[in-house]
Amino acid sequence: MNAAASILDNNLSSALIVEDDADWDVSLKTQLTQFALGSQHLLNAPTSSEPLSPYGDGWDMVWLGHCAQDPPSKPLARFFIADDTTIASAGRRWGLWSPEEALTDDLPRNHTIRVVYRSAGSVCSYAYALSYTGAQKILYHLSYSHFDGPFDVGQAGLCKRGRKGEIDFSYVGVYPGLIHAAFVENDIVYDPTKPRKEREKEKGTPTAPNLVFGVRMNVFRMIEGKELVGRWRGEEEVGDMEMWFDEGKGE
């Protein structure tokens, strides 16, 4: 709520709010370029004029980091990147639930597809952006109006009501998410993709299970100009890897 209020107090057109334990891929700038194309496509941005925001005009919130996302509403409008090597393999992803089957059931099942779409909401607010009008609506619906539940559940409720046309709230999401929480217990890191009883704790650098080239595990390599290390892709947990992206397509 304080972040939303700060957007209004400082007359900001938009702001990205990120939890302090978040991690993201070293290629986030390229990922956001693709996401921006997808967001513009979903918001029907005219190709003849440049939008004020790189993500298109008219959005209230974009949810970039989450631990679950609801399936899409029908008819499905989407923008997908078909071969994104910064996506963790299916067995190495962690989340409360997944909309993948509903999003990609008519596409090749190679588990390297990232989809930008307008879902009915997400859970966990690892990272999200609010526009000025989005901050106004968040404060009204989740503060001025009576609401006493978890903040991310309140956000998801606004997304769902906006998707149904009950309120004016425009939301764009992405699956898999671009930003995730890094799982850390002091100096101990564990693998959250394994069942709780089978998790083996080991010392190491905290990393997020859904990222391949996480910044936290590569920051010193980036400073020293060394080759990046990736994990969670295919059967290989750790190793030197290459990354590439296909050009996204809208439907």
Bigger pLDDT: 111 vs 60:
60
Q: For residue 83, what are the contacts with CB-CB under 8 A and spacing of at least 6?
A: 110, 112, 113, 244, 245, 246
| Mean pLDDT, residues 138-144 taken together | 90
Helix (H, G, I), strand (E, B) or coil at 89: coil
| pLDDT at residue number 87 | 84
b/e string for 204-233 if b means 16 or more Cβ within 10 A? eebbbbbbbbbbbbbeeeeeeeeebbbbbb
pLDDT band at 138 (very low <50, low <70, confident <90, very high): very high
Q: pLDDT for 174-226, tens place per residue? A: 988 999 988 765 444 455 555 655 555 444 556 677 888 889 888 888 899 88
In the three-class reduction of DSSP (H, G, I as helix; E, B as strand; rest coil), residue 70 is classed as coil
Please name the residues in contact with 85: beta carbons below 8 A apart, sequence gap of 6 or more: 112, 212, 233, 241, 242, 243, 244, 245
What domains are defined for the chain?
2-180 (3.90.550)
Give tens-digit pLDDT for 33-60.
999 999 998 888 665 567 778 888 889 9
Distance CA 15, CA 75 (A): 30
For residue 75, say if its preceding peptide bond is cis, omega within 30 degrees of 0.
Answer: yes
Report which of residues 75 and 19 the model is more confident about. Answer: 19
What's the rounded mean pLDDT across residues 66-84? 80
**Range among 139-153, 174-188, 197-211, 227-241 rated most confident:** 139-153
User: Measured between alpha carbons, how far is 132 from 200 in angstroms, rounded to an integer?
Assistant: 44
CA distance 48 to 249: 19
Give the mean pLDDT of the chain: 80
pLDDT, position 170? 92
3-state DSSP assignment of residue 154: helix
Whether 3 has a pLDDT exceeding 90, the answer reads yes
Rounded average pLDDT over 128-147:
91
Q: What number of CA atoms fall less than 13 Å from residue 174's CA on the CB side?
A: 31
Q: How far is CA 231 from the centre of its chain?
A: 18
Residues 219 and 10: their CA atoms lie apart, in Å, by 32
Whether residue 130 contacts residue 60, with contact meaning beta carbons closer than 8 Å, is answered with: yes
> What's the token pair of residue 82?
């078909």
Provide the pLDDT for residue 81: 84
Higher pLDDT: 19 or 188? It is 19
Tell me, what's the pLDDT at 46? 60
Q: What is the mean pLDDT of residues 145-150?
A: 81
Burial, 198: exposed, middle or buried (Cβ in 10 Å; 0-12, 13-18, 19+)? exposed
d(CA 131, CA 204): 37
For residues 214 and 6, which has the higher predicted lDDT (pLDDT)? 6
- Does the pLDDT of residue 243 top 90, yes or no? no
